[in-house]
Structure 1
Amino acid sequence: MTLREPAISNKQNTSFVILIASAAALGGFLFGFDTAVINGAVAALSKAFNANSVMTGFAVSCALLGSALGAFVAGSIADRQGRLKTMIIASIFFTLSAIGSGIAFTIWDFILWRALGGVAVGMASVIAPAYIAEVAPAHLRGRLGSLQQLAIVVGIFIALLCNYFIALGAGGSAEAPFWFAISAWRWMFWTEIPPAILYGIFALKIPESPRYLVAQGRRKEAAIVLEKVLGGDIQAKLEDIHRTVLTERKPQFSDLLSRRGGLLPIVWIGMGLSILQQFVGINVIFYYSSVLWRAVGFSERNSLLITVITGVVNIVTTLIAIATVDKFGRKPLLLIGSIGMTVTLGALAVVFGNAPIDPATGNPTLPGTSGIIALLAANLYVVFFGFSWGPIVWVLLGEIFNNRIRAAALSLAAAAQWIANFIVSTTFPPLLQYFGLGSAYGLYTTAAAISIFFVAFFIRETKGKELEEM
């Protein structure tokens, strides 16, 4: 069965939807890969370019500013040019960024290439959940929407795994020469090139979103796609989409404003979800975990291995979310995750806050049971995030906005997410240097506690509802 063959049964309809959703979610894979590949290269970059902690933090997080820009413009590009062309543009940017980051000569051109990759990440973070939400039937939408997060965590895991084996092949250090006497950290970035190209190829093979086609007045093409996705009589569904899609003019960001001025409440809720997802500090684990574990006494090789184990934990918990999101709903999973993150982050704050400082290195040390507690708490934190705020936020961002504002609202929410990510990632190295890990994790614990009340008071359940009901 090729990507464009019509389905002739419900089973084939489901298989077809899973296939095209998985192809779109490859953008999530690159999203995860691109943001995590820096993990194993941070220390080597710092030495190669003689960068201080502030500059190192910016080199890591500059991609996030690009991501905010990419997310902000992705909605308008997707509404003008279509979901698939947006994916192709992102694929080109991913490829160029991977090549350029590996050949960087100074910290400044490295920052430029990483920012370009960030633009691609931002575009992928908007277009994948929007596309999946628009092609998926209601009863599958939660699970298929979770494919985005599954792809992200698999991308993170593969990036960490590549980093580990490349460093291992270079004698245990990212600074050492690898193939062709080129530094290992450069090869870490080049491993992104094959999936980046594959993403563009997949985008050329899958069908356009039926909701975009209706908005462009291409009802016949939309009907063909809906027949492949849903099967049976799709005229009623086509009319529902037509009634809810704004066809008289192009969607604008002004659509997000209420009559009284200011953003619509639902847009604020989407932005709140995005910001809290980052303020709980999850990306500190994935961007800086190798640095973190080296700071408390693990070797570089063992630190990279721990990050690989954390990546596996993240994948397993995301699979749990996929299996349960359409059964238990979005809100219960978010609440459980928020409570679990608050407890585990609090444990990390206490352990690191009371850890003795090694006078030789200035880093905290975790002898005996303290190190075990920190390792368990960090991985349990990933568990609670992995089945809740990781995947569920992306599912909700694809669902909570109505058809008229979805692309624009998703762009704004995703841009807010990347700015929040930038703030967290940029401030972590100075926090680590000047205030210690205990203070940093104390801030993330506070954000996790706030998320409990945010979910309880502002999030409504969307399980089983059609997008046209939002």
Structure 2
Amino acid sequence: MADVRDEAVAAEGSSLKVVMIASVAAVGGFLFGYDTAVINGAVGALESTFRAGDAAIGLSVSAALLGSAAGAFVGGQLADRFGRIRTMVVASVLFAVGTLGSGLAFGLVDFSLWRLVGGVAVGIASVIAPAYIAEIAPARLRGRLGSLQQLAIVTGIFAALLVDFGIAAAAGGSAENPFWLGLAAWRWMLLSELPPAILYGIGALLIPESPRYLVAKHREEKARDVLRTIVGRRAEVKVEEIRLTLSSEHSGGFADLRGRFGLLPIVWVGIGLSVFQQFVGINVIFYYSSVLWQAVGFSERDSLAITVITSVTNIVTTFIAIATVDRFGRKPLLLVGSVGMTLTLGTMAYVFGTAGTDAAGNPVLQGAAGPVALVAANLYVFCFGMSWGPVVWVLLGEMFNNRIRAHALALAGSAQWVANFIVSSTFPALRTVGLGLAYGLYTAAAMASLAFVLLFIRETRGKELEEM
């Protein structure tokens, strides 16, 4: 039996080893999710500690997103110049520095600057992980392994929200209360990111470099060694295929993304995917949900608990995507997700738009309105988690050809973070105007995403990267 298993590994490579390698790379996604969600439990405390208004808090929370846009933009260049592994290590260091700085910040200005540094790390990780996983994974596993990025992101979100809840509970129910060493609980929430940041750097040094990067740098023997563990006896054939695609086209750069309408059509599609993934408002749920549920009458403790439950929903649905993305394809999942998000966001827009308000102007959900809003929010997360969450990362990792992949991913990733910044920074003001308007805008984006998929998305299931 062992001989048969060894023969299978020699013929097709070790699927287990590929999964392990991809999982280490996806730790960047975990930190991506952790860093962007850990702020959730600290928002209210930041307002009180630094005596800041809605606009100032919106900008400080969103500062990380501007850094992410910059990090995503330079991430592709760093990856092509220095390799995927070294770039992951750089991201790890920036995660650690940004975490320490924001957790020990003296004021809102330096807090925002440190969040900006952490955001650069998030941006780099957001483009490196899908590119590396797509390049390391065989076609038969690429959809499922590409979905590991989203699984890591939502697991990071869950871990951050759980830590926020645990620290707040241990500190007496409020993030403003002092915790260990006399530091406020919200500071420990942010500092909790340090251990996984260090582990990410260590893990990156233990996995192999991308075979496509190695061939591009004329290190073909090393590329063969890596590929033998992935595709077995087809390693030599794969090296030749990669060499041909690299030799038939000149070295890629941002100039190669230019097309008739400013950019190549495929690059515009990648940007569209990134923007729609954010314009449907998913990160409002994870950045501001504790404040949102408090605004409609829940306690701070209950609001954090609801947010943790929502993040669990996100994880479960990502497993659904992993199980189905290589079976049903990318496009069908996006279509189903767009329809589901339109219906659930529309329900939330109606509930909040027709709700009464209290003396402070906050919506008051009476009778069945509260449970309906909670169910709709979690169903919305379900629809996003089994479609646009993971599938966009899979497509961005595989839809571009070898020549432009790193740079196209960098541009699409930057667009995603700019869109995220727009949504996240405007939500506090929209909340003041009315939650019905905010969710109405996200509903319109979900409807537009359906038309976008129907018109512009091509199925990539089962294709090798050299066929793109």
Same fold (TM > 0.5): yes
Match for 1:456 among 425, 436, 454?
Answer: 454
Q: Per-residue displacement from partner, 1:400-454 (whole Å, max 9, x unpaired)?
A: 1000000000000000000000000000001111x21000000000000000000
Q: Tell me which amino acid in the other structure corresponds to 1:445.
A: T
Secondary structure in structure 2 of the residue aligned to 1:231:
helix
Give the aligned partner of residue 156 of structure 1.
157
Give the aligned partner of residue 183 of structure 2.
182
Q: Per-residue displacement from partner, 1:267-288 (whole Å, max 9, x unpaired)?
A: 0000000000000000000000
Secondary structure in structure 1 of the residue aligned to 2:26:
helix
Q: Per-residue displacement from partner, 1:231-276 (whole Å, max 9, x unpaired)?
A: 1132211111111125986421001112x46200000000000000
Give the aligned partner of residue 437 of structure 1.
435
Give the aligned partner of residue 81 of structure 1.
82
Change (3 A) 1:262 1:362: same
Give the aligned partner of residue 19 of structure 2.
18
Give the aligned partner of residue 121 of structure 1.
122
Give the aligned partner of residue 216 of structure 2.
215
Q: Which segments of structure 1 move beyond 6 Å, counting only runs of 4 or more?
A: none
Q: TM-score, normalised by structure 1?
A: 0.97
Secondary structure in structure 1 of the residue aligned to 2:357:
coil
In 1, Cα distance between the equivalents of 2:50 and 2:129?
Answer: 35
Give the aligned partner of residue 394 of structure 1.
393
Deviation at 1:367, TM superposition (A): 1.7
Any unmatched runs of 5+ in structure 1? 1-6
In 1, Cα distance between the equivalents of 2:466 and 2:96?
Answer: 36
Match runs of 1:248-259 below 5 Å: 250-258=251-259
In 2, Cα distance between the equivalents of 1:224 and 1:412?
Answer: 31
Identity %: 66
Matched positions, count:
462
Asked whether the equivalents of residues 157 and 312 of structure 1 are also in contact (C-alpha less than 8 Å), the reply is: yes
Q: Tell me which amino acid in the other structure corresponds to 1:346.
A: G
In 1, Cα distance between the equivalents of 2:350 and 2:9?
Answer: 58
In 1, Cα distance between the equivalents of 2:423 and 2:10?
Answer: 48
Match runs of 1:36-435 below 5 Å: 36-245=37-246, 250-258=251-259, 260=260, 262-359=262-359, 361-433=360-432, 435=433
In 2, Cα distance between the equivalents of 1:245 and 1:384?
Answer: 39
Q: Per-residue displacement from partner, 1:168-208 (whole Å, max 9, x unpaired)?
A: 00110000011122100000011100000000001100000
Deviation at 1:396, TM superposition (A): 0.2
Match for 2:463 among 462, 465, 469?
Answer: 465
Q: Tell me which amino acid in the other structure corresponds to 2:275.
A: I
Give the aligned partner of residue 3 of structure 1.
none
In 2, Cα distance between the equivalents of 1:170 and 1:246?
Answer: 60
Q: Tell me which amino acid in the other structure corresponds to 1:464.
A: G
Q: Tell me which amino acid in the other structure corresponds to 1:324.
A: T
Asked whether the equivalents of residues 216 and 247 of structure 1 are also in contact (C-alpha less than 8 Å), the reply is: no
In 2, Cα distance between the equivalents of 1:289 and 1:77?
Answer: 35
In 2, Cα distance between the equivalents of 1:391 and 1:317?
Answer: 10
Give the aligned partner of residue 32 of structure 1.
33
| Structural RMSD (CA) | 1.3
Q: Per-residue displacement from partner, 1:108-137 (whole Å, max 9, x unpaired)?
A: 000010000000000000000000000000
Asked whether the equivalents of residues 246 and 404 of structure 1 are also in contact (C-alpha less than 8 Å), the reply is: no
In 1, Cα distance between the equivalents of 2:130 and 2:11?
Answer: 23
Deviation at 1:9, TM superposition (A): 4.4
In 2, Cα distance between the equivalents of 1:339 and 1:60?
Answer: 30
Asked whether the equivalents of residues 12 and 233 of structure 2 are also in contact (C-alpha less than 8 Å), the reply is: no
Q: TM-score, normalised by structure 2?
A: 0.97
Change (3 A) 1:45 1:324: same
Deviation at 1:10, TM superposition (A): 6.2
Change (3 A) 1:228 1:173: same
In 2, Cα distance between the equivalents of 1:98 and 1:86?
Answer: 18
Deviation at 1:228, TM superposition (A): 1.2
Any unmatched runs of 5+ in structure 2? 1-7
Asked whether the equivalents of residues 12 and 234 of structure 2 are also in contact (C-alpha less than 8 Å), the reply is: no
Asked whether the equivalents of residues 353 and 437 of structure 2 are also in contact (C-alpha less than 8 Å), the reply is: yes
